[in-house]
Amino acid sequence: MISGGAGKRSGGGPAKCKRCREPAKVEVARANAAFCADCFLHYVRNQVTKAIDEHSMFDKTDRLLVCVSGGKDSLALWDILMDMGYDTTGFYIALWTGEDYCSESRDKCEAFAEKRGGKLIVHDLKEDEGFTIEQIAREGRRTPCSVCGLTKRYLTNLAASQGGYDVLVTGHNLDDEAATLMGNTLHWQTEYIARQMPALPSTHAKLVKKVKPLYRVSERETAAYSIIRGIDYIVEECPLVAGNTQIRYKDALNSLERLSPGTKQQFFFGYLDKAAPLFAASDPVVLRECNECGQPTPGEVCAYCRAKKQLRAKTRPAVEIEEVAP
Ligand code: SF4
Ligand code: ZN
């Protein structure tokens, strides 16, 4: 049994695969189904295909930059897209949230790329940007996760834009999306809710289209997929995860999911079907180019340039931060 427990069902014998009737190996409680290993892989790929088609994410002519972290979600997604014949390149950022964690996650990405014959681009925050997320956590003046999130958004878009990629692909899964929606809804951050779509079109020449093809697949399902496929991913969580507010929303949703399988799916899919069109009606943000780096921003100077300026001002001379090249 890989995850979820597909053993004996109440009132019946061993569970059978919903698709081929062979003995089941993986339970998908939210779909009230269990699958053998092969049919489970088919089920996951089918969910990704549905996501791509329903949101017109990309086609075989597009060049995709796939953000990978060494974790199960992003490597599973890269694996699926390669198998489907898409033109993919992996993009890994060494964030330095912890020395060992960083080396291991980078190793996992490099080993995966080598094994699958995929191209991987590595961007090292310490070498290329002059700071690390661990350093921000140590100084304690800014929340590491907020700087980390901002840095990832900025650098992934920059890499995709400068590399001439058509679409930026991330491994956000159903659990991530439901937790983010819960956080945004509890705080009624309507502008964030409006942008929480599986596909965000480009609204500026330097802003690359962003998509999340795993939004229909849960975290446990990507783990099961990776195990069946023999993908060697980093199991440990980021050493700074305790400061991530999303974790408490994930915990709350996991409790609800245990009592009522399908809660996350109902919440997020229900938002997409019923609420997203209402939020989307609000005025779109008009973007211009940052006065310092030339990247798209609603203001005069982008949030990344402002954050780096603050960091440089607060950082001791020994770890001075250089300005980002546009
Ligand atoms: Fe970055 Fe926070 Fe996620 Fe760690 S937990 S990778 S610091 S956002
Ligand atoms: Zn800037």
Judged by its nearest atom, the ligand closest to the C-alpha of residue 69 is 1
**CATH number of the CATH domain containing 221:** 3.40.50.620
Closest ligand 1 atom, CA of 152?
A: 1
Closest C-alpha residue for ligand 1 atom 8: 145
286 vs 283: CA distance, rounded Å: 9
* Residue 285 counted as domain residue: yes
Centre of ligand 2 to C-alpha 308, Å, is: 9
Judged by its nearest atom, the ligand closest to the C-alpha of residue 154 is 2
**Residue 322 pLDDT exceeds 50:** no
Phi/psi of residue 27, nearest 5 degrees: -95, 135
Best CA proximity match to 169, nearest among 84, 77, 235? 77
Specify the higher pLDDT residue, 205 or 322.
Answer: 205
Q: Is 316 helix (H, G, I), strand (E, B) or coil?
A: coil
Residue with tokens 């079907």: 273
- How many structural domains are present in the chain? 1
* Residue 214 counted as domain residue: yes
Phi/psi of residue 164, nearest 5 degrees: 70, 25
Query: CB of 238 closer than 6 A to ligand 1?
Result: yes
Confidence at residue 223, expressed as pLDDT on a 0 to 100 scale: 97
Q: What's the mean per-residue pLDDT of the chain?
A: 91
Closest ligand 1 atom, CA of 144?
A: 7
Query: CB of 301 closer than 6 A to ligand 1?
Result: no
Specify the higher pLDDT residue, 139 or 160.
Answer: 160
Best CA proximity match to 97, nearest among 237, 259, 249, 245? 237
* Residue 153 counted as domain residue: yes
Query: What's the whole-number mean pLDDT along residues 157-178?
Result: 98
* Residue 40 counted as domain residue: no
With a pLDDT cut of 90, the percent of the chain lying above it is 81
Closest ligand 1 atom, CA of 145?
A: 2
Mind listing the pLDDT tens digit for each residue in 264-321?
999 999 999 999 988 886 667 899 999 999 999 999 999 999 988 888 776 554 444 4
Which residues span the domain enclosing 135? 47-313
* Residue 270 counted as domain residue: yes
Closest C-alpha residue for ligand 1 atom 5: 241
Specify the higher pLDDT residue, 282 or 218.
Answer: 218
* Residue 23 counted as domain residue: no
* Residue 20 counted as domain residue: no
**Residue 137 pLDDT exceeds 90:** no
Centre of ligand 2 to C-alpha 46, Å, is: 39
* Residue 10 counted as domain residue: no
Radius of gyration of the chain (CA): 20
Confidence at residue 216, expressed as pLDDT on a 0 to 100 scale: 98
Query: CB of 41 closer than 6 A to ligand 1?
Result: no
Query: CB of 211 closer than 6 A to ligand 1?
Result: no
